[in-house]
């Protein structure tokens, strides 16, 4: 019996030195094995040697502080790259379409402002109003068939600058220059830096005036607005229809290589309604005759 107790004591010391043995269930063929197992299970962790406790605590700390592996990092990088590739094209398309829509909106505002300017001059009925204050007359029977203007980006007397800024120029539209030939364009400064951003063609019909030198009280006016881009002076301007604003990043007013469509085209009827001549002229423009439009 003393020998059995001595053997159990040695085994308990062995298990205390190596904690891994606690996880292994001992299998002893000895008939007194239950007594030995009870002895082993009665060993408290507090009786472990300090070095063993320190090793166990360090192992637990290392397990809790374990980070991502290299493979996991590579997978995360691949996923982020695929996500970026999926998001980037729609972002570029949205930005490009927004820029095109913004330019078309500005062009439409420019055209509408010019028509309002001409209409306000006629409706005021000033006695000082002359033909030179109005847009030039287009020779086409149908105003929509008027030929396109010749593009340019250089400010001159025949190509004045329209701007709200205080630009150092002697050729400002609606101040120094009132009428521009149909074949010429008005250069429009939209952002106030005295540099043209758009080209505007303005023209009108003869209206109800007896001759081209008479001031009409009713006529049609047309405005076409083109964007100024790189190489605009050598481009061919078109008149058929406005640029398409389909989704995309490139310019939508460019067709057939070096041709440009207008971003905005407006036609309107201007009439001085407080005179019988103005009402008669409007009646004739709507298809009436001299007999029915008296």
Name the least confident of 37-41, 166-170, 210-214: 37-41
Write down the pLDDT at residue 6.
56
pLDDT mean across residues, the chain: 78
Please tell me the distance from the alpha carbon of residue 91 to that of residue 86, in angstroms, as a whole number.
Answer: 10
- Give residue-wise pLDDT tens across range 217-230: 889 999 999 999 88
Delimit the domains of the chain by residue range. 1-11+31-59, 86-285
155 and 187 Cβ atoms separated by less than 8 Å: yes
pTM here is 0.66
Q: What is the mean pLDDT of residues 148-174?
A: 92
250 and 227 Cβ atoms separated by less than 8 Å: no
Write down the pLDDT at residue 24.
46
With 50 as the cut, is the pLDDT of residue 192 above it? yes
- Give residue-wise pLDDT tens across range 225-267: 999 988 888 888 988 766 665 555 555 566 666 678 898 999 9
Which pair of structure tokens corresponds to residue 222? 């047309």
Name which of 167, 177, 217 is nearest 200 in CA terms: 177
Local confidence band at 78 (pLDDT 50, 70, 90 cut-offs): very high
Residue of 272 and 54 predicted with greater confidence: 272
Write down the pLDDT at residue 21.
43
What does each C-alpha distance from 47 to 9, 53, 55 come to in angstroms?
14, 10, 15
Contacts of residue 187, defined as CB under 8 A and 6 or more positions apart, other chains included, come to 152, 153, 155, 159, 160, 161, 162, 196, 198, 199, 200, 228
With 80 as the cut, is the pLDDT of residue 168 above it? yes
Please tell me the distance from the alpha carbon of residue 97 to that of residue 176, in angstroms, as a whole number.
Answer: 37
Write down the pLDDT at residue 242.
63
Please tell me the distance from the alpha carbon of residue 103 to that of residue 203, in angstroms, as a whole number.
Answer: 22
With 70 as the cut, is the pLDDT of residue 182 above it? yes
Q: What is the mean pLDDT of residues 76-95?
A: 87
Please tell me the distance from the alpha carbon of residue 39 to that of residue 133, in angstroms, as a whole number.
Answer: 118
Write down the pLDDT at residue 28.
47
Local confidence band at 12 (pLDDT 50, 70, 90 cut-offs): low
Local confidence band at 123 (pLDDT 50, 70, 90 cut-offs): confident
Q: What is the mean pLDDT of residues 276-285?
A: 60
- Give residue-wise pLDDT tens across range 27-65: 545 554 555 545 545 555 555 566 666 666 666 665 555
Local confidence band at 23 (pLDDT 50, 70, 90 cut-offs): very low
Write down the pLDDT at residue 100.
81
Write down the pLDDT at residue 46.
55
pLDDT above 90 as % of the chain: 34
Residue 221, strand partner residues: 204, 268
């Amino acid at each position: 019996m003393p020998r059995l107790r001595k053997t159990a004591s040695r085994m308990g010391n062995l298990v205390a030195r190596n904690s891994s043995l606690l996880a292994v269930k001992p299998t002893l063929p000895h008939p007194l094995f239950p007594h030995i197992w009870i002895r082993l299970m009665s060993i408290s962790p507090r009786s472990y040697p300090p070095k063993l406790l320190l090793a166990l605590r360090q192992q637990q700390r290392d397990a809790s502080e374990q980070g991502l592996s290299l493979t996991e990092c590579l997978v995360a990088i691949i996923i982020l790259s695929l996500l970026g590739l999926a998001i980037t094209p729609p972002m570029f398309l949205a930005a490009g379409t927004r820029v095109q829509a913004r330019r078309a909106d500005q062009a439409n505002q420019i055209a509408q402002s010019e028509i309002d300017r001409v209409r306000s001059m006629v409706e005021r009925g000033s006695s000082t109003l002359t033909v030179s204050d109005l847009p030039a007359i287009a020779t086409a029977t149908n105003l929509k068939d008027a030929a396109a203007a010749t593009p340019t980006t250089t400010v001159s007397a025949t190509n004045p600058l329209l701007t709200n800024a205080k630009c150092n120029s002697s050729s400002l539209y609606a101040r120094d220059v009132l009428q521009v030939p149909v074949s010429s364009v008005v250069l429009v400064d939209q952002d106030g830096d005295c540099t043209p951003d758009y080209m505007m063609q303005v023209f009108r019909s003869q209206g109800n005036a007896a001759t081209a030198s008479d001031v009409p009280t009713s006529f049609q006016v047309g405005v076409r607005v083109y964007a100024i881009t790189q190489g605009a002076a050598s481009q061919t301007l078109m008149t058929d229809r406005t640029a398409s604003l389909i989704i995309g990043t490139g310019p939508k007013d460019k067709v057939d290589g070096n041709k440009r469509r207008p971003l905005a085209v407006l036609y309107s009827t201007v009439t001085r309604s407080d005179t019988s001549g103005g009402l008669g002229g409007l009646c004739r423009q709507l298809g009436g005759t001299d007999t029915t439009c008296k």
